[in-house]
A and B are shown apart, each in its own frame.
Chain A
Amino acid sequence: MDVSMLQRTYTDLLTSLFREGILNQQFIELQQLQDENNPGFVNEVVSLFFEDAGRLITELISNFNQQAVDYKKVDAYVHQLKGSSASIGAEKIRSVCQTFREYYDKNDIQGCYNCIQPLKQEFMTFKSKLEALFALEQQIVAAGGSIPMMRH
């Protein structure tokens, strides 16, 4: 694939991520921090998020599988996940975390429990799409092109 086609594919994918609500404006804020001094900044920060969020979701699921669920600990994990997802613009993940915390504040345990599977699903979708985006970035750079910047 030539560079311009790769760049178009990249732009289309990124646009779709915003249109589907997977990413929000905060992602563009992160892209603004990427420059020649920090060429892999967004990739690095999102990779940190993959690691961190993956661990938190594993802990969440493990906690919900216990006989006696420690809901305070679970809420602390979700609070952390909400913060980090908001920091990188992972809107759908942030939104599910917000819903979870609203149920938690109302002592609606079933509501909390019902958020766990959607949270895991949104994380897997986010990870898969961002990995595809970064793979395209690598192809563009390898082909001698520059990464198109999103204006939002």
Chain B
Amino acid sequence: MASSQVVKVLVVDDDVLTRRIYRTLLLRFGFEITEAEDGKSAVNKFIDGNEYDLVLMDKDMPRMDGVEATRALRGMGISAKVVAITGDENSRGAFLDAGADEFLLKPLNITALTDILKAFNFLN
């Protein structure tokens, strides 16, 4: 985990409404949330020295899509858990090949995400 006890999450999605929904859910768990509106911004956050325990990654975004961003993060040696959350069910293979740990289909199912967070030991 990143240096503090609080789980640090990077939410990567070009849709402000989606980011708002994820933020509300994750704040309930006491997580610390940072947002990025596309893959390139997400990668830059890590390049700038920020550390995150978990990345929620959309797929279709401007400048850099989620698969490319995931591949870039793994190429940089970033070990944060990456959960792809996308409406594109055909992108599961691409995401997992790029190094994502889990794949969820949109719209977000709270129970499905909570189960993944528990499996990652981010929740009791």
Report yes or no: A82 in contact with B87, Cβ–Cβ below 8 A.
yes
Name A87's contact: one of B15, B24, B60, B110 (CB within 8 Å): B15
**What 0/1 readout, one digit per residue, does chain B (1-30) give for beta carbons within 8 Å of chain A?**
000000000000001111011001100100
Chain B residues with CB under 8 A of A33? 21, 24-25, 28, 110
Given contacts A32-B110, A33-B25, A83-B106, contact A88 B17 (CB under 8 A): yes
Interface string of A1-45 (1 = CB under 8 A from B): 000000000000000000000000010011011010110010011
Query: Are the CB atoms of B25 and A83 closer together than 8 Å?
Result: no
Contact flags B21-63 to A (C-beta < 8 A → 1, else 0):
1001100100000000000000000000000000000001000
B60 touches A45 (CB 8 A): no
Would you mind naming 10 contact pairs between A and B with Cβ atoms under 8 Å apart? A33-B21, A33-B24, A45-B20, A48-B17, A52-B16, A52-B17, A86-B87, A87-B107, A87-B108, A89-B107
What is the size, in residues, of chain A's interface with B at 8 Å between Cβ atoms? 23
Rounded to whole angstroms, the CA-CA distance of A120 and B14 in the bound complex is 23
Q: Does A129 reach chain B (CB closer than 8 Å)?
A: no
Chain A interface SS verdict (over half): helix
Instruction: Please name all residues of chain A whose beta carbon is closer than 8 Å to the beta carbon of B108 when the two chains form the complex.
Output: 29, 87
B121 within 8 A of A: no
Are B110 and A79 in contact, CB atoms less than 8 angstroms apart?
A: no
**Is A77's beta carbon under 8 Å from chain B?**
no
Report if B90 contacts A (CB, 8 A).
Answer: no
Q: Whole-angstrom distance between the alpha carbons of A30 and B24 in the complex?
A: 10
Assuming A29-B108, A83-B87, is B24 touching A49 (CB within 8 A)? no
A84 within 8 A of B: yes
Residues of B within 8 A of A63 (CB): none
- 10 smallest A-B Cβ distances: which pairs? A86-B107, A26-B107, A48-B17, A33-B24, A87-B107, A84-B17, A87-B18, A29-B110, A38-B24, A41-B24
Contact B15 A84 (CB under 8 A): yes
A45-B21 contact in complex given A33-B28, A83-B87, C-beta closer than 8 Å: yes
Residue of B nearest to A52 (CB): B17
> Whole-angstrom distance between the alpha carbons of A59 and B28 in the complex?
36
B124 contacts partner chain A, Cβ-Cβ < 8 Å:
no
CB of A119, distance to nearest CB on chain B (Å) = 18
Contact (A44, B20) CB under 8 Å given A33-B25, A83-B87: yes
